[in-house]
Amino acid sequence: MILTMSVTLQEISKSFGSRILFDGVTATFNQGNRYGLTGPNGAGKSTLLKIINGEETPSSGTVALPDRVGMLRQNIEDYRDYDVIDVVIMGNQRLWDAMTERDQLYEQEMTDEVGMRLGDLEGIVVEENGYSAESDAEMLLAGMGIPEEHHHLKMKEIPTDIQFRVLLCQALFGEPQALFLDEPTNHLDMDSIRWLEEFLHNYTGVIIVISHDRHFLNAITTDIADIDYDTIIVYPGNYDEMVFQKTSVRDQAVREGKSREKKVAQLKEFIARFGAGTRASQVQSRKREMEKLQPQELKKSNIERPYIRFIPTEKAPGKIVLKADSISKSYDGNNVIKNFSFELEKGDKVGVIGANGLGKTTLIKMLTGYLEPDSGKVELGHQAQIAYFPQNHHDVIDKSTNLNAFDWIKSRREGVYDQEVRSVMGKMLFGGDDAFKAVKTLSGGETARVILAEMMLLEHNTLIFDEPNNHLDLEAVSALAWGLNEYKGTVLVVSHDRDLIETVAKKLIIFTEDGIEVFQGPYAEYIEQKAKT
């Protein structure tokens, strides 16, 4: 029996009703390579990863895997009654099963049969490095920023975002020969993301990862497996290199198409002039040449970048756009924000960073008036006009409404013309009938783009965003970063996306376990200063 260390797809097809996701996909993912699985929202990235891992059945085709694989799971409810450390060890199923059965047998009366079985199980525990399992799991948990006091608590006793980090540790545990990671950075702060990048760089198996974090993909990938035209095209290099290769090939095809069209026009002119004359053989030759030159249908690339441009109102605010004066907020006796003061000045571009659960969204909701502080006050500056993108889209868009996307956007600004609405929706890739999709049927990514289109229409001189990249694809996040960088007004943005923070922010508000600090400089300077301390 030959053991495979690669992941091989053979003639994989998958369809849902009349919709085809994949059609006869054959691809090999080799040991030692780190593949980013890319494609627009709805292309089938997560479905393909589930097919590879055996959680989803393809319509046809087969998958060959190494013996031991690690998969980042999202089913935290299934683990709520288990200790954190045990959930991590479950990443090595063979070891966990052996340890569980061994513990059960030790509670039984000792017989020859039980003794022999215990010997077999102890052999498995040794083979799977079971006696160092707990310390190995603790190292992973520490790398993910999970404090030691959480390691022996039940999963249900720790915050939800920390539970997702535990499941990432589970995927990494036990030296899997292949790793499948679907959005592994979603619940990580920037320190944990850097730790994960280093871990994956030292990993020797095959990695297939889906991520909307462009910086993360560029940092870790050796290849990009791009879902396009119902199949997978593998490009060497990271995400930015793939985009360059893909657009270069298409540009070349466009140039060649135009050259063919020019030649065909010349041939048609010759045939029209001499078709009825004495040069019949030459005319036939030209016809055959023209048939060969007929342009092939040029498939549309799946790389589509929206055009995001925010234009501030002519009403300029005063020097201070927004002021927080000793604001505090507690939940169930827990001080989330305590006596925080901050002034957002005209023209500021401020990034808000820090681990989940420390109060970033609470701060943003107080600054935008969606939440009252327990004490202290928030004051809006002279002529300050704020447009707000919430982490929870339901805060601004009611998904129970019967409106379509076009009518919802139009309702948000009095006196706006239809062509203005269609213009911003087109820039956000809502072309044709897509503009009239019912709001209640919109996906997370579509809802995010609708809110961005609305913000481009609203009158504002200050933009506040809370995790805008959560449901946006890679190209939309890049377009947003460009739009905010070009914006002439004031920006406050919460994000874990380093490209977005590095592109936009000139100042930082940093949430830490010890409180909130303000840094008067960009992210790169903050990291440099932090490394010195």
- The reported pLDDT for the residue numbered 297 is 47
Candidate from 294-308, 318-332, 393-407 with smallest mean pLDDT: 294-308
Place of tokens 């320190």: 191
* Phi, psi dihedral angles at 515 (to 5 degrees): 135, -160
Instruction: Encode pLDDT of 350-384 as tens digits.
Output: 999 987 778 999 999 999 999 999 999 999 999 99
- The reported pLDDT for the residue numbered 58 is 92
Confidence of residue 261 (pLDDT cuts 50, 70, 90): low
Structure tokens that stand for 237 in this block = 């290099």
Residue range 144-150: average pLDDT?
90
- The reported pLDDT for the residue numbered 486 is 95
Q: What is the three-class DSSP state of 310? A: coil
Candidate from 96-110, 243-257, 301-315, 453-467 with smallest mean pLDDT: 243-257
- The reported pLDDT for the residue numbered 473 is 83
Residue range 289-317: average pLDDT?
73
pLDDT of residue 145 exceeding 60, the answer is yes
pLDDT of residue 438 exceeding 70, the answer is yes
- The reported pLDDT for the residue numbered 40 is 77
Residue range 192-217: average pLDDT?
91
pLDDT of residue 258 exceeding 70, the answer is no
Higher pLDDT, 364 or 23: 364
Q: What is the three-class DSSP state of 327? A: strand
Beta strands of 85-189 (E only): which ranges? Answer: 178-182
Q: What does the mean pLDDT of the chain come to?
A: 87
CB of 321 within 8 A of CB of 346?
yes
How far CA 345 is from CA of 182, 319, 352, 462, 489, in Å, comes to 39, 6, 15, 10, 10
Closest to 362 in 3D by CA, of 338, 393, 397: 338
- Whole-model pTM: value is 0.75
pLDDT of residue 405 exceeding 70, the answer is yes
Structure tokens that stand for 195 in this block = 């730790």
Confidence of residue 399 (pLDDT cuts 50, 70, 90): confident
Sheet holding 223-228, edge to edge: 69-71, 178-182, 206-210, 34-38, 223-228, 231-236
- The reported pLDDT for the residue numbered 489 is 95
Residue range 439-464: average pLDDT?
93
Q: Give the helix/strand (H/E) hosting 262.
A: helix 239-274
Confidence of residue 300 (pLDDT cuts 50, 70, 90): low
pLDDT of residue 298 exceeding 50, the answer is no
- The reported pLDDT for the residue numbered 74 is 79
- The reported pLDDT for the residue numbered 2 is 43
* Separation between Cα atoms, residue 386 and residue 324, nearest integer Å: 15
CB of 379 within 8 A of CB of 309?
no
Residue range 299-308: average pLDDT?
73
Answer left, alpha or beta for residue 92, where phi above 0 means left and psi between -120 and 50 means alpha. beta
Residue range 288-296: average pLDDT?
59
Q: What percent of the chain has pLDDT over 90?
A: 56
Residue range 399-414: average pLDDT?
92
Confidence of residue 266 (pLDDT cuts 50, 70, 90): low
Higher pLDDT, 215 or 41: 215
Instruction: Encode pLDDT of 152-162 as tens digits.
Output: 999 999 988 78
- The reported pLDDT for the residue numbered 411 is 94
- The reported pLDDT for the residue numbered 445 is 85
* Separation between Cα atoms, residue 37 and residue 520, nearest integer Å: 37
First to last CA, the chain: 54
CA 125-128-131 angle, 5° bins: 55
Count the Cβ atoms, other than its own, within 10 Å of residue 355.
21
Pairing of strands 349-354, 507-512: parallel
Q: Give the helix/strand (H/E) hosting 381.
A: none
pLDDT of residue 315 exceeding 70, the answer is yes
The amino acid that residue 168 corresponds to is L
pLDDT of residue 110 exceeding 90, the answer is no
* Separation between Cα atoms, residue 396 and residue 404, nearest integer Å: 15
